[in-house]
Chain A
Amino acid sequence: GAVVSQHPSWVICKSGTSVKIECRSLDFQATTMFWYRQFPKQSLMLMATSNEGSKATYEQGVEKDKFLINHASLTLSTLTVTSAHPEDSSFYICSAWTSGTETDTQYFGPGTRLTVL
Protein backbone atom coordinates (compact mmCIF):
# COMPACT_ATOMS: atom_id res chain seq x y z
CA GLY A 1 0.00 0.00 0.00
CA ALA A 2 0.91 3.66 -0.19
CA VAL A 3 3.53 4.80 2.30
CA VAL A 4 3.70 8.16 3.99
CA SER A 5 6.62 9.15 6.19
CA GLN A 6 7.06 11.92 8.71
CA HIS A 7 10.20 13.45 10.07
CA PRO A 8 11.07 13.82 12.83
CA SER A 9 9.14 11.20 14.76
CA TRP A 10 9.55 13.23 17.91
CA VAL A 11 10.97 16.61 18.81
CA ILE A 12 11.50 18.55 22.01
CA CYS A 13 12.00 22.28 21.77
CA LYS A 14 12.12 25.35 23.96
CA SER A 15 9.23 27.75 24.13
CA GLY A 16 9.51 30.46 21.48
CA THR A 17 11.38 28.40 18.93
CA SER A 18 10.08 27.13 15.60
CA VAL A 19 9.80 23.50 14.58
CA LYS A 20 9.44 22.09 11.08
CA ILE A 21 7.76 18.75 10.45
CA GLU A 22 8.05 17.03 7.08
CA CYS A 23 5.49 14.75 5.48
CA ARG A 24 6.48 12.73 2.43
CA SER A 25 4.60 10.35 0.22
CA LEU A 26 7.20 7.75 -0.68
CA ASP A 27 5.74 5.77 -3.53
CA PHE A 28 2.99 7.93 -4.94
CA GLN A 29 2.21 11.52 -5.77
CA ALA A 30 -0.10 13.14 -3.26
CA THR A 31 -2.56 15.55 -4.79
CA THR A 32 -3.68 16.65 -1.37
CA MET A 33 -2.11 16.40 2.05
CA PHE A 34 -3.83 16.94 5.37
CA TRP A 35 -2.42 17.94 8.73
CA TYR A 36 -4.07 16.77 11.94
CA ARG A 37 -3.43 17.36 15.59
CA GLN A 38 -4.22 14.82 18.26
CA PHE A 39 -4.14 15.45 21.98
CA PRO A 40 -3.76 12.51 24.39
CA LYS A 41 -6.70 10.13 24.38
CA GLN A 42 -8.56 12.30 21.89
CA SER A 43 -9.49 11.99 18.27
CA LEU A 44 -7.79 13.60 15.31
CA MET A 45 -8.67 17.18 14.58
CA LEU A 46 -8.07 18.47 11.08
CA MET A 47 -5.86 21.55 11.08
CA ALA A 48 -5.43 22.29 7.41
CA THR A 49 -5.74 20.95 3.90
CA SER A 50 -2.83 21.44 1.56
CA ASN A 51 -2.88 21.15 -2.23
CA GLU A 52 0.35 21.12 -4.17
CA GLY A 53 1.22 24.52 -5.53
CA SER A 54 -1.51 26.43 -3.76
CA LYS A 55 -2.12 27.95 -0.36
CA ALA A 56 -3.31 25.72 2.42
CA THR A 57 -6.86 25.92 3.68
CA TYR A 58 -7.00 26.21 7.45
CA GLU A 59 -9.75 25.03 9.75
CA GLN A 60 -11.59 27.47 11.92
CA GLY A 61 -9.57 28.31 14.98
CA VAL A 62 -6.22 27.30 13.51
CA GLU A 63 -3.86 30.24 13.14
CA LYS A 64 -2.32 30.21 9.70
CA ASP A 65 0.54 32.47 10.77
CA LYS A 66 1.43 30.11 13.57
CA PHE A 67 1.13 26.87 11.63
CA LEU A 68 2.84 27.47 8.31
CA ILE A 69 2.20 24.87 5.66
CA ASN A 70 4.16 24.51 2.46
CA HIS A 71 3.21 21.90 -0.13
CA ALA A 72 6.00 22.53 -2.60
CA SER A 73 5.84 19.26 -4.48
CA LEU A 74 3.55 16.29 -5.01
CA THR A 75 5.56 14.27 -2.51
CA LEU A 76 6.37 16.75 0.24
CA SER A 77 4.42 18.96 2.60
CA THR A 78 5.88 20.72 5.61
CA LEU A 79 4.28 22.09 8.74
CA THR A 80 6.20 24.70 10.69
CA VAL A 81 5.04 25.51 14.18
CA THR A 82 6.30 29.03 14.75
CA SER A 83 7.05 30.45 18.18
CA ALA A 84 5.96 27.23 19.80
CA HIS A 85 4.44 27.27 23.27
CA PRO A 86 3.73 24.44 25.71
CA GLU A 87 0.08 24.34 24.65
CA ASP A 88 1.27 23.40 21.14
CA SER A 89 2.62 20.15 22.54
CA SER A 90 0.69 17.46 20.72
CA PHE A 91 0.87 14.60 18.26
CA TYR A 92 0.88 15.93 14.70
CA ILE A 93 -0.15 13.54 11.94
CA CYS A 94 -0.19 14.10 8.22
CA SER A 95 -2.09 12.16 5.62
CA ALA A 96 -2.03 12.06 1.87
CA TRP A 97 -4.61 11.48 -0.78
CA THR A 98 -4.06 10.50 -4.37
CA SER A 99 -6.40 10.07 -7.24
CA GLY A 100 -5.27 6.46 -7.51
CA THR A 101 -7.07 5.52 -4.29
CA GLU A 102 -10.70 5.08 -3.44
CA THR A 103 -12.35 8.45 -3.24
CA ASP A 104 -11.89 9.29 0.42
CA THR A 105 -9.20 6.91 1.63
CA GLN A 106 -6.24 8.65 3.12
CA TYR A 107 -2.79 7.27 3.91
CA PHE A 108 -1.39 8.42 7.20
CA GLY A 109 2.12 9.14 8.34
CA PRO A 110 3.38 7.69 11.63
CA GLY A 111 3.01 11.03 13.41
CA THR A 112 5.36 13.47 15.11
CA ARG A 113 5.31 13.96 18.86
CA LEU A 114 6.05 17.61 19.66
CA THR A 115 6.92 18.59 23.21
CA VAL A 116 7.44 22.26 23.95
CA LEU A 117 9.20 23.01 27.22
Chain B
Amino acid sequence: SQQGEEDPQALSIQEGENATMNCSYKTSINNLQWYRQNSGRGLVHLILIRSNEREKHSGRLRVTLDTSKKSSSLLITASRAADTASYFCATPRWGGSARQLTFGSGTQLTVLP
Protein backbone atom coordinates (compact mmCIF):
# COMPACT_ATOMS: atom_id res chain seq x y z
CA SER B 1 0.00 0.00 0.00
CA GLN B 2 1.08 3.57 -0.52
CA GLN B 3 2.99 5.20 2.30
CA GLY B 4 1.39 8.51 1.49
CA GLU B 5 -2.26 9.24 1.05
CA GLU B 6 -3.36 12.56 -0.26
CA ASP B 7 -6.52 14.51 -0.13
CA PRO B 8 -8.40 15.75 -1.85
CA GLN B 9 -8.04 13.42 -4.81
CA ALA B 10 -9.19 16.24 -7.06
CA LEU B 11 -9.43 19.97 -6.54
CA SER B 12 -10.86 22.58 -8.88
CA ILE B 13 -10.40 26.29 -8.17
CA GLN B 14 -10.51 29.64 -9.92
CA GLU B 15 -7.37 31.42 -10.99
CA GLY B 16 -6.09 33.62 -8.20
CA GLU B 17 -7.39 31.42 -5.42
CA ASN B 18 -5.21 29.41 -3.10
CA ALA B 19 -4.97 25.63 -3.36
CA THR B 20 -4.21 23.40 -0.40
CA MET B 21 -3.34 19.74 -0.66
CA ASN B 22 -2.71 17.39 2.21
CA CYS B 23 -0.59 14.29 2.57
CA SER B 24 -0.54 11.76 5.37
CA TYR B 25 2.05 9.09 5.90
CA LYS B 26 2.43 6.15 8.21
CA THR B 27 6.03 5.67 9.27
CA SER B 28 8.78 7.87 10.65
CA ILE B 29 10.55 9.92 8.03
CA ASN B 30 13.57 12.18 7.82
CA ASN B 31 12.13 14.23 4.99
CA LEU B 32 9.12 14.64 2.77
CA GLN B 33 9.05 15.90 -0.79
CA TRP B 34 6.44 17.29 -3.12
CA TYR B 35 6.47 16.70 -6.85
CA ARG B 36 4.35 17.99 -9.68
CA GLN B 37 3.34 16.10 -12.80
CA ASN B 38 1.77 17.64 -15.84
CA SER B 39 -0.49 15.32 -17.77
CA GLY B 40 1.49 12.64 -19.58
CA ARG B 41 4.83 13.97 -18.40
CA GLY B 42 7.49 13.17 -15.87
CA LEU B 43 7.69 14.55 -12.36
CA VAL B 44 9.23 17.83 -11.35
CA HIS B 45 10.66 18.22 -7.87
CA LEU B 46 9.06 21.15 -6.06
CA ILE B 47 10.31 21.19 -2.53
CA LEU B 48 11.86 19.04 0.20
CA ILE B 49 11.14 19.58 3.87
CA ARG B 50 13.18 17.87 6.54
CA SER B 51 11.74 16.32 9.66
CA ASN B 52 13.19 19.05 11.86
CA GLU B 53 11.48 21.75 9.82
CA ARG B 54 7.89 22.82 10.32
CA GLU B 55 7.42 25.10 7.37
CA LYS B 56 9.23 25.90 4.16
CA HIS B 57 8.59 28.40 1.38
CA SER B 58 9.54 28.48 -2.26
CA GLY B 59 8.00 31.22 -4.35
CA ARG B 60 4.23 30.73 -4.27
CA LEU B 61 4.60 27.38 -2.53
CA ARG B 62 4.36 26.83 1.18
CA VAL B 63 4.85 23.42 2.70
CA THR B 64 4.19 22.46 6.27
CA LEU B 65 5.15 19.29 8.09
CA ASP B 66 3.66 17.98 11.30
CA THR B 67 5.58 14.90 12.33
CA SER B 68 3.35 14.32 15.36
CA LYS B 69 0.37 13.93 13.05
CA LYS B 70 2.40 12.40 10.25
CA SER B 71 1.00 14.88 7.80
CA SER B 72 2.13 17.56 5.40
CA SER B 73 0.35 20.21 3.39
CA LEU B 74 1.21 22.01 0.19
CA LEU B 75 -0.25 25.45 -0.33
CA ILE B 76 -0.11 27.16 -3.70
CA THR B 77 -0.99 30.82 -3.42
CA ALA B 78 -2.46 33.00 -6.15
CA SER B 79 -2.92 30.01 -8.41
CA ARG B 80 -2.55 30.22 -12.17
CA ALA B 81 -3.99 28.12 -14.97
CA ALA B 82 -0.44 26.83 -15.54
CA ASP B 83 -0.52 25.28 -12.06
CA THR B 84 -2.99 22.70 -13.36
CA ALA B 85 -1.28 19.36 -12.75
CA SER B 86 -1.14 16.40 -10.40
CA TYR B 87 0.76 16.88 -7.18
CA PHE B 88 2.36 14.02 -5.28
CA CYS B 89 4.01 13.82 -1.91
CA ALA B 90 6.87 11.34 -1.53
CA THR B 91 8.66 9.92 1.46
CA PRO B 92 11.79 7.80 1.81
CA ARG B 93 10.70 4.22 1.87
CA TRP B 94 10.75 2.47 5.19
CA GLY B 95 13.33 -0.30 5.22
CA GLY B 96 14.52 0.44 1.75
CA SER B 97 17.41 2.35 0.35
CA ALA B 98 17.47 5.86 1.66
CA ARG B 99 17.00 6.99 -1.91
CA GLN B 100 13.92 4.95 -2.67
CA LEU B 101 10.73 6.94 -2.54
CA THR B 102 7.14 6.00 -1.96
CA PHE B 103 4.63 8.27 -3.59
CA GLY B 104 1.24 9.31 -2.36
CA SER B 105 -1.89 8.82 -4.37
CA GLY B 106 -1.78 12.36 -5.72
CA THR B 107 -4.09 15.34 -5.98
CA GLN B 108 -5.29 16.45 -9.38
CA LEU B 109 -5.46 20.24 -9.34
CA THR B 110 -7.40 22.12 -11.98
CA VAL B 111 -7.11 25.89 -12.05
CA LEU B 112 -9.82 27.49 -14.12
CA PRO B 113 -8.96 30.71 -15.98
Q: Which residues of A contact B (CB under 8 A)?
A: 4, 6, 32, 34, 41-44, 46, 49, 91, 93, 95, 97, 102-111, 113
Contact = CB atoms under 8 A, between A and B. Distances in A.
A50 B48 CA distance: 23
B42 A109 contact: yes
B104 A43 contact: yes
B96 to A, nearest CB: 8
A77 to B, nearest CB: 14
Contacts of A41: 108
A111 B35 CA distance: 15
Q: Which 10 A-B pairs have the closest CB atoms?
A: A108-B42, A108-B43, A110-B42, A43-B103, A44-B103, A97-B99, A111-B42, A43-B105, A109-B42, A104-B92
B88 A111 contact: no
Interface footprint category on B: 20 to 34
Contacts of B108: 41
Interface of B: 2, 30-31, 33, 35, 40-45, 48, 88, 92-93, 97-106, 108
B53 to A, nearest CB: 13
Given A46-B100, A111-B40, A105 B88 contact: no
Nearest to A38: B37
Contacts of B2: 43
A103 B40 contact: no
A107 B101 CA distance: 12
A107 B104 CA distance: 17
Given A43-B88, A43-B105, A104 B48 contact: yes
A105 B45 CA distance: 7
Nearest to B99: A97
A106 B100 CA distance: 9
